Structure 1
Amino acid sequence: MKRLITKGLMFGNLIEVSSPALVERYNRALQHLTGKTTTLSDFHIDISGYSPEVGDELGDDLYLNPNGCNRQFILLTTAQKTAPLLHIKFSTSRGILEQFITANEAQLFALTARDAVAGELANSVYEVSTPAKLFDIRKITVEADTIGAHVRDATKLAGLIDRFRREPDAWRDDLLIAEMIGLAKKTGDVTRVPIALPAMGFEQPNFWTSHFGGIYIFRALRYPGVIATLPKQSLGAVPVAPVMDLRDRNEIADWLERNELAEPIVQARGTDVAAILRQKMDFILVDAADALNLDLGSATRSDLRKIAHRLGAGLPEEFLGLAALLRWVEGAGEWPRITSEHPAYFYTLRARAGKDRDLVNMLLAELAPLDVRQMYITHKELFYASYARWSERKRQYVADFLEREYMVDRQGAREALFGPEPAMDETHRPELRDGPRPAHDLVQAVGPWGAVRGRR
């Protein structure tokens, strides 16, 4: 993993905490939330205030996420909103924290100037001992205050001021006046500079969780569904159907099509489809060559072409399917019919625009695991776990490629592969499936590569 850290591919964009004042504030917040402190004089934190160095010192990577279902957070600066979230347990957590900081940025800027802000992404579930309990998680509430309770005291002072103004004889109440003065010394003049940090609620209908090997839960769709990484029987009884696992390729393809969640990359407007296909084919060749212990050379496209010639009839089916599609894209071959049973099928898809775009791309990364670029961008937890199992050759190739081709323009690469970022309030509205389709929309009319045949 040191190679990834050096190249900025892991623990990148974390916030440095090195001043004694910030370290002291962090320790006060840490003591308040967990009863623990750190002896480190400098470390780095993510958007939630989690520090990999502190986690290593404490021997607990979940020291801010007890039971993995109610993440706590420590804010030392509003700059944390651009940092990543490490050790993700729920796919929605980072987005919720970012929206909370953005919506309250002015207040948080003022509060963190004097103290650390600590809080929790709270829900009604305190442990997830069974998969069924995940379905009780529907709304996340963000609650926060400074360690010195400035927000609570400001709310109390505002109430006392209102009482002072309403009650005719309040000016004679020495206890009331003394309490107001005491609170004002701590909060300042809340009539001129109000302090408020109201609890914010976020609906969580569709999400991924790393619990139980990884589960995708889609409830707010026309056709709900659950997709598990482990065999679906391991989930037991859950309140949403159908339940699928990654081996159910036909069922997943059918479900994606019925919900209009995915589209073939050949339909993407303004996209260099040929370049994307070639790069996917390169990744597949590297994996095949590595499995056979073949020398990658400098892993240039010319070197990989030589490897393809050496493999000959042993070329992976994923490679052959994408090669057939590439020939069609470049006008050198017939339209290939790639069914959902074909190993190349999910490599040809990307998520449609909409609020679930990133979640669907995350799922597609699991269904097309040889596309390491998509895996790194959309599913870092899976990428790091996969990286740990790769050979040194493949690790070097992938790290060099991502540093060279992705890190120089991350936003541009994401838009080229997946389209523009969806707006915060963008929603996915499935069209009615009744009635005729436009004649030119042949691919969409019959499914990406012919009608999807789901097993019933």
Structure 2
Amino acid sequence: MHRLIEKGLMFGNLIRVDSPVLVERYNRALKHLTGRETALDDFHVDISGYSPEVGDELGDELYLNHAGVNRQFILLTTEQADAPLLNAKFSTAREILRQFINENRSELFALTARDAVAGELINSIYGVQAPADLFNILKVTVEADTTSGTVATAKKLGQLIDRFKTEPDAWHDDMLIAEMIGMAKQTGDVARNPVNLRHMEFGQENFWTALFGGLYVFRGVEHPAAIVAGNKAKVGALPIPFTFDFSERSAIAKFLNLNDLVEPITDARGADAAAILRQKMDFIVVAVAASMNEQLTGARERDLRVLGRKHAKLLPEAWHGLAALVRWAEEDGPWPRITSEHPAYFYTLRAKAHPDASLVNMLLAEMTPLDARQLFICHKEVFYRAYARWPDEKKAYVVDFLDREYQVDKAGMRNALYGHDAVTERAMPIGQPDLISRVGPWGAIGRRG
């Protein structure tokens, strides 16, 4: 993984903790949450305060995420809001933490100026023994305070102040006054500078979890279903109308279309569909060429065309389907009939602009693993797992491409590929068969003019 780390494609945007004061605060919070401490004096943390260096030291990469549920967090700075979430077990966790930090930014800024804030994403269960247990998770509540209990103390002080203002004999209650003065030394003036953190709850209707080999749950749609990355027989019965695995391509395609979750890239407004599809074809060529021990260092589009011709007989059906669609879009070629059973089908889709767009793009990325760019952008956990198994030449090419093409303008590329970069996965506070047969599986699509 050293190439990814060197280019900032893995462990990128982490927050460095290297001052004695911050290390001491981190240790105080760590002991408060887990009863453990680190001997390191220099490490990095993600949005939740998890540190890969500390995890390695403790021999426990889940030291803040026991059993993968009820994730704990340590906040040293509000800058953690822009950091990634490592070892994510639920797709909604990062967005919940990000919203919590942003909604309480001024309060957290004041609190972290003097202490670490420790907390937990609490749901209604303490462990997941079987896949069906996931459906008992209905909401997530954020609970947080400083290690010295500043928020709780401020709340109690506020109650004492109310008593002092309303009770007739409060002016003569020396014990009440002394208690308020003692608390005020810890919290400061809560009347002028409140330190109350907003109570935040988030619904958990649609999410991905890494548990049980990977599982996508869609409860908050018109036609609910669960989609299993592995064998659904091993998952067993789930309390949801339908369960599919990746082998049931037509059923998944029907689910996505019935719930209006996807659109064809060729139908996407403002997208250069042919360029996007060609890049997907290039990554497929890279996979084939790397398996044949071809030299890919510094390879560009022209080099990949040469390699594609050289190994044309080895190119999978997905490549040929995409090539036919590009010919239709660019050269007025015949319309290619690509059904949901065709290996190219899911490569031609992207999520529509809706609150669960990132979740749907995660699913599409995992179903189209030869598109290394989409896999990296949309589903890093699966990307890193796949990367470890790639030939060295493919690793080098993909890292070079991502560094050269993606790192320079992440938001721009996401917008070009998905068209709605501002749409993030749902972490919401509680609160035509005849036409298809006529024009193809994506409906009426205008040609590029």
* Contact 1:297-1:303 at 8 Å conserved across structures: no
* Contact 1:143-1:198 at 8 Å conserved across structures: no
1:189: how far off? 1.4
Distance, in Å, in 2 between the alignment partners of 1:425 and 1:192 is 36
Distance 1:219 1:193, change over 3 A: same
- Note if 1:447 corresponds to 2:427: no
1:312: how far off? 3.0
Distance 1:418 1:358, change over 3 A: same
Q: Higher mean Cα deviation, 286-295 or 215-224?
A: 286-295
SS at match of 1:197: coil
- Matching residue's letter, 1:249: R
1:332: how far off? 3.7
Mapping for residues 282-431 of structure 1, pairs under 5 Å = 282-296=282-296, 298-423=298-423
* Contact 2:244-2:251 at 8 Å conserved across structures: yes
Distance 1:184 1:427, change over 3 A: closer
Distance, in Å, in 2 between the alignment partners of 1:139 and 1:360 is 20
- Matching residue's letter, 1:153: T
In structure 1, the partner of 2:86 is 86
In structure 2, the partner of 1:14 is 14
In structure 1, the partner of 2:243 is 243
Percent sequence identity over matched residues? 60
Distance 1:179 1:298, change over 3 A: closer
1:129: how far off? 1.0
Distance, in Å, in 1 between the alignment partners of 2:324 and 2:133 is 45
- Note if 1:123 corresponds to 2:149: no
1:293: how far off? 2.8
Q: Deviations over 1:353-377 (max 9, x none)?
A: 1011000000001111100000000
Q: Higher mean Cα deviation, 201-210 or 232-241?
A: 232-241
In structure 2, the partner of 1:453 is none
Q: Higher mean Cα deviation, 128-137 or 419-428?
A: 419-428
1:265: how far off? 0.1
- Matching residue's letter, 2:441: G
In structure 2, the partner of 1:96 is 96
* Contact 1:354-1:422 at 8 Å conserved across structures: no
Distance, in Å, in 1 between the alignment partners of 2:369 and 2:46 is 27
Distance, in Å, in 1 between the alignment partners of 2:261 and 2:377 is 19
- Matching residue's letter, 1:304: L
- Normalised TM-score (structure 1): 0.93
Q: Deviations over 1:133-174 (max 9, x none)?
A: 000011000000000101000000110110011111111111
In structure 2, the partner of 1:150 is 150
* Contact 2:81-2:98 at 8 Å conserved across structures: yes
* Contact 2:25-2:115 at 8 Å conserved across structures: yes
Distance, in Å, in 2 between the alignment partners of 1:215 and 1:166 is 55
In structure 2, the partner of 1:195 is 195
Aligned residues: 441
SS at match of 2:91: coil
In structure 1, the partner of 2:69 is 69
* Contact 2:92-2:425 at 8 Å conserved across structures: no
* Contact 2:353-2:423 at 8 Å conserved across structures: no
In structure 1, the partner of 2:220 is 220
Distance 1:271 1:425, change over 3 A: closer
- Matching residue's letter, 2:37: T
* Contact 2:95-2:425 at 8 Å conserved across structures: no
- Matching residue's letter, 2:356: D
Distance, in Å, in 1 between the alignment partners of 2:309 and 2:137 is 52
Distance, in Å, in 2 between the alignment partners of 1:263 and 1:192 is 51
1:82: how far off? 0.4
Distance 1:165 1:298, change over 3 A: closer
1:296: how far off? 3.5
Q: Higher mean Cα deviation, 205-214 or 336-345?
A: 336-345
Distance 1:37 1:443, change over 3 A: farther
SS at match of 1:328: helix
Distance 1:71 1:281, change over 3 A: same
- Note if 1:55 corresponds to 2:55: yes
1:398: how far off? 0.4
1:425: how far off? 10
In structure 2, the partner of 1:5 is 5
Distance 1:297 1:84, change over 3 A: closer
- Matching residue's letter, 1:76: L
In structure 2, the partner of 1:46 is 46
Q: Deviations over 1:298-356 (max 9, x none)?
A: 42222211222222333211111000000011034111110111111110000111011
* Contact 1:17-1:23 at 8 Å conserved across structures: yes
- Matching residue's letter, 1:52: P
Q: Deviations over 1:231-269 (max 9, x none)?
A: 111111210021000111111011111111111100111
Distance, in Å, in 2 between the alignment partners of 1:445 and 1:149 is 63
1:423: how far off? 5.0
Distance, in Å, in 1 between the alignment partners of 2:28 and 2:381 is 30
Alignment gaps of 5+ in structure 2? 445-449
1:291: how far off? 2.1
Alignment gaps of 5+ in structure 1? 451-456
* Contact 2:328-2:334 at 8 Å conserved across structures: yes
- Matching residue's letter, 1:15: I
Distance, in Å, in 2 between the alignment partners of 1:396 and 1:29 is 40
* Contact 2:203-2:427 at 8 Å conserved across structures: no
Q: Deviations over 1:50-99 (max 9, x none)?
A: 00010010010000001110100000000000000000000000000000
- Matching residue's letter, 2:403: E
- Note if 1:261 corresponds to 2:261: yes
- Matching residue's letter, 2:209: T
Q: Higher mean Cα deviation, 417-426 or 379-388?
A: 417-426
Give the aligned CA root-mean-square deviation in angstroms: 2.0
Higher RCO (C-alpha 8 Å, min separation 6): 2
In structure 1, the partner of 2:447 is none
In structure 1, the partner of 2:174 is 174
* Contact 1:353-1:422 at 8 Å conserved across structures: no
- Normalised TM-score (structure 2): 0.95
SS at match of 1:244: strand
